[in-house]
Amino acid sequence: MKRTVLTALVAAAALAVTGCGSMTAADCQLQSSANGPYALKFTAAATAQAGCTTDTPDVFGDLWTFDPYDNGLIVAFPSFPFSSLLPDPPDPHAAVYGKGKFTAGFPAQDQTCTVDALKNDAGGPMDLGGGRSYAATNVVFLNTALYLGTTFKADVTYTNGACVRPYTVQALIPAHPCKVKEDCDPFAQPFSSGINSQYDTECNLEPWALAQGQIVVEDVIGDTYDGQGLCFFVGPFPGTGGWKPPQ
């Protein structure tokens, strides 16, 4: 599922444009697969079970894709490295897909829109196969015409075989690879990072970000991996401190 550089740049430019505007009320919404996946950082919310520190690490990352459908249906699925587990030919009822709906049509006073839970058609978690799954609840998107669901937070219980651990999640779209902070500049010319300029981001080179940056570079841009991380938030959700140029 390679994408061309042009496609990635068009998606980034679209995000940059939609990041401008007023705080006028807008429908609850999120960014679809046309703009690539969200980059997710999982941070453990409890101590790992005995013998589970490897299977459920303190911090890890993933990339999730979302798509909206009729009647407010939202469908989410892990993009990588589990994309090979997606059904072929497509099966909309596959257990890997987490489905839910916004609890309201418009953002709350705090500019957020919430999906109570993402569940497959059987009412279970997003099943990754091999005893792995994500049970996502309290999925909260930052919305309004300025943010358009380009970031969210969530509570996710990750199961890996006999190991089960709760996590808090922070997410950002686009998943933009970087080597230095300048790569994350939303005002760069001729091509910006595509990240909303209201977000305070930096080039994250921690192991979780390097792992996901590798996937983005190799699969989305089609280049070889050479140690790139991901542009990501400096602080906790919603991370709206605004872009700060390198000092």
Token duo for residue 148: 């358009």
Burial of 201 (0-12, 13-18, 19+ CB in 10 A): buried
> Are 96 and 84 within 8 A, CB to CB?
no
Determine the straight-line distance between the first and last CA of the chain, rounded to whole angstroms.
Answer: 38
Domain boundaries, the chain: 5-233
Span 7-29, pLDDT tens digits: 333 344 444 444 444 455 689 99
What would the pLDDT profile of 99-123 be if each residue is shown by its tens digit? 999 999 999 999 999 999 999 999 9
State pLDDT tens for residues 31-86.
Answer: 999 898 999 999 999 999 999 999 999 999 999 999 999 989 999 998 755 456 66
Res 240: pLDDT: 95
What is the tens place of the pLDDT at every residue in 119-137?
999 999 999 988 999 999 9
Between 54 and 227, the more confident residue is 54
Residue 119 structure tokens: 């569940």
- 219: pLDDT strictly greater than 50: yes
pLDDT at 174: 95
Give residue-wise pLDDT tens across range 205-218: 999 999 999 888 87
Q: What percent of the chain has pLDDT over 90?
A: 70
C-alpha torsion angle, residues 142, 143, 148, 150 (rounded to 10): 0
**pLDDT beyond 90 at 88:** no
User: Cα(242)–Cα(189) distance, rounded to whole angstroms?
Assistant: 18
Residue holding tokens 């922070």?
A: 170
160: which strand partners?
A: 132, 163
The burial of 244, by beta-carbon neighbours within 10 Å (0-12 exposed, 13-18 middle, 19 or more buried), is given as exposed
pLDDT, greater one: 202 or 3: 202
Global pTM reads 0.86
Buried b (16+ CB within 10 A) or exposed e, 52-75: beebbbeebbbbbbbebeeeeebb
12 vs 154, higher pLDDT: 154
